[in-house]
Amino acid sequence: MKKMLLALSLSGALLGGSVAWAEEVTASAPSEEVTTTVEMTAATSPDVQAVATPAPTEEAAAPAAEEPTLDTGDTAWILVSTALVLLMTIPGLALFYGGMVRKKNVLSTMAHSFVAAAVVSLAWVIVGYTLAFTEGNAFIGGFDKVMLSGITTTALTGTIPEILFVIFQMTFAIITVAIISGSIAERMKFGAFVAFIAIWVVVVYAPITHWVWGGGWLFNDGALDFAGGTVVHINSGVAGLVAAYMLGKRMGLGRESMAPHNLTLTVLGASLVWVGWFGFNGGSALGANGSAGYALVTTQVAAAAAAIAWLITEKVVRGKASVLGGASGAVAGLVVITPAAGFVTVGGALAMGLIGGVVCFWGITGLKRALKADDSLDAFGLHGVGGIVGAILTAVFASEFIMGDKAPANMMSQLWVQIEGVLATIAYSAVLTFVILKVIDVVIGIRVEADDERMGLDLSQHGERIE
């Protein structure tokens, strides 16, 4: 709990410009996906003569570490995975969200995903990557690689070029930000959204990424997050929920029809998201190997199981199994398996998908009513709830058969570490999102005027509309 309280103090440090409050990380990350080029030194000086017969008490010299080398197969797979993850946002998420809003807000909703790709790309290369993946302290990275300084074409992260790792991780940041837009659709100023995501990706996303994947405190505590249960889904879901509360409910909610204008777009978008998720989870193995293959299989199984579970639950509760429900269920399964994709067996993935489908259905129905928030397109119900369920179940289903010696030695201990990561992510994301939006609201306002909302954001914010 002490570390969670220290994590919250990061908000003040980031907003005030100081990072001197946190202790230094004393141990390098074991996996070293986040390191720069490994520099090799000579094992001995050329002036030192070889000793023919060492003294009996002298220990044998340790074998020299192998120098990391580029693997073209691994590189090719991450190149493909990068494109697949970007496909998840544009056009996948843009279509998925765009089809669920009213016709007068389609373009503005799709613009959120499109502009996220542009804004986050710049923020990531300027400062986001260095804060997430360079050595700093337990809570945030340093500034050694601002504007990707020092990353040469020969620099490696594992067996792939570091510059490729940069853009692969960039696509994760892009979709995280785009997911948030599902909670604020149909009522947020476009300029306010742009300002918010530019700040949020640096102040919220980058530090949490460092905690989990960049050698930070959750990484060192042994938290398991294969592809982004905490970093992407809980983070974005919680931010979306806070934003929904701050914006207030859409005009006419509960009195006027808010039915999706074109579910064809939504199903097409969900299909692209499903395909792209192979890059999201499979690419997180950072190589063309058995771990990537298992991640693909568990991803497919969990998505399929969750879709079926959702449809059955919806049939029982509402009397009909809807197409939108099937698409939402598949997304729920994809979210739930994300933190566990490379850690669980097929049986574990099947169980997680079934559980995730039912729980996320409750998340967008019973829980949503209880929270009384207008989470327009259920970003929290799918991603926030699904991410929480997946992160916790990862401790339950993590398998020695898959992970070998890296498997958790004690399930209950691992469960606490997972819960610790969930709670810290929720707290940090919620507090910082509130602060950022509050500042923007004071400066330029975050919600459109009533007349503009009635007109529709396509016309009021962009001067365009769909005929």
pLDDT tens digits for 374-420?
Answer: 999 999 999 999 999 999 999 999 999 999 999 999 999 999 999 99
Going by pLDDT thresholds of 50, 70 and 90, the confidence category of residue 262 is very high
CATH of 70-462, one of 1.20.1440.20, 1.10.3430.10, 3.40.50.1460, 1.10.3860.10: 1.10.3430.10
Among all chains, which residue has been given the structure tokens 């509960």? 254
> Percent of the chain scored above 90 by pLDDT?
84
Residues in Cβ contact with 356 at an 8 Å cutoff, skipping those fewer than 6 apart: 302, 306, 309, 332, 333, 335, 336, 337, 386, 389, 390
Going by pLDDT thresholds of 50, 70 and 90, the confidence category of residue 360 is very high
Tell me the residue type at 218.
L
Mean pLDDT for the chain overall:
88
Mean pLDDT within 79-101: 97
* Cβ contact 314:322 at 8 Å: yes
Tell me how crowded residue 152 is: count the other CB atoms within 10 A of its CB.
12
Mean pLDDT within 431-450: 97
Two tokens at 240?
């979306």
pLDDT at 467 over 70: yes
Q: What is the pTM of this model?
A: 0.86
Mean pLDDT within 446-462: 95
| pLDDT for res 38 | 35
pLDDT at 15 over 70: no
| pLDDT for res 64 | 52
